[in-house]
């Protein structure tokens, strides 16, 4: 990883100081500026999620993610993807089929995973 971060950089590769330049196809064929041809990246996909911290008498509701999905078998607070203008209160009602007594926003977390730009409302 240090090789890619310090020597074989996309903008200014330092081929003369590279310890593996003799094995590099791009260097051998004088195509350093062309390779690798990664093509255009796909546009990031925005996603809005709502996670719910449900507490009753000091106990919290968590669920285990199913197998075969990202982060399989890890535990998480229940969450749902918010589509369109749907808000977290409507989403919670649809998931639990009940109206919560007290729904308070805790925080909003923004992060990226691969090509997804995620906004998580807790």
Percentage above 90 pLDDT, the chain: 35
The answer, yes or no, to whether residue 22 has pLDDT greater than 70, is: yes
Q: What is the pLDDT of residue 41?
A: 83
CA distance 74 to 35: 39
The answer, yes or no, to whether residue 112 has pLDDT greater than 90, is: yes
Q: What residue segments make up the domains of the chain, in order of their start? A: 1-39, 45-121
Q: pLDDT for 74-90, tens place per residue?
A: 999 988 888 877 777 77
The answer, yes or no, to whether residue 52 has pLDDT greater than 80, is: yes
Q: What is the pLDDT of residue 36?
A: 77
Find the mean pLDDT for residues 4-22.
Answer: 88
We find that the CATH architecture of domain 45-121 is: Alpha-Beta Complex (3.90)
């Amino acid at each position: 990883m240090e090789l890619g971060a310090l020597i074989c950089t996309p903008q200014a590769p330092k081929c003369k100081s590279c310890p593996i330049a003799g094995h590099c196809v791009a260097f051998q064929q004088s195509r350093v500026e062309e390779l690798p041809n990664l093509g255009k990246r796909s546009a990031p996909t925005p996603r809005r999620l709502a996670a719910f911290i449900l507490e009753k008498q000091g106990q919290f509701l968590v669920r285990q993610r199913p197998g075969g999905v990202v982060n399989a078998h890890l535990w998480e607070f229940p969450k749902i993807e918010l589509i369109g203008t749907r808000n977290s209160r409507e989403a919670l009602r649809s998931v639990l089929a009940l109206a919560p007594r007290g729904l308070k926003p805790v925080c909003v977390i923004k992060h990226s995973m691969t090509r997804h730009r995620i906004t998580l409302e807790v």
